[in-house]
Amino acid sequence: MTKKDGNAQQRIDEIVVELLANELSIAKIAKEFGVTKNYVYMVNSGECGRMPGFKYPVREKKYPPREPPTDAYGDPV
């Protein structure tokens, strides 16, 4: 492993820590580390810098619950 590879792995490890903390958005993590959002997604899914025995994805995608549709007056449809 070259020094450059070691720096890349260190950056991946730091990105994983941020993903686990779940305090910053993917976009903010990418900006903080000077990488693309796609790179952060690849680290999250294990496509890049996969660590043996580690559970992927690091951060599960969570979608807010959908609100039931309403009419113009706010009444349920």
Predicted confidence at residue 73, as pLDDT, reads 82
What residues make up the domain containing 68?
1-77
Asked if residue 66 lies in contact with residue 54, where contact means CB atoms within 8 angstroms, the answer is no
Asked if residue 12 lies in contact with residue 39, where contact means CB atoms within 8 angstroms, the answer is no
> What is the tens place of the pLDDT at every residue in 45-73?
999 999 888 899 999 877 666 777 888 88
Please state the domain count of the chain: 1
Asked if residue 33 lies in contact with residue 11, where contact means CB atoms within 8 angstroms, the answer is yes
**Cα-based distances in Å from 53 to 37, 46, 69:** 24, 11, 43
pTM of the predicted model over 0.85: no
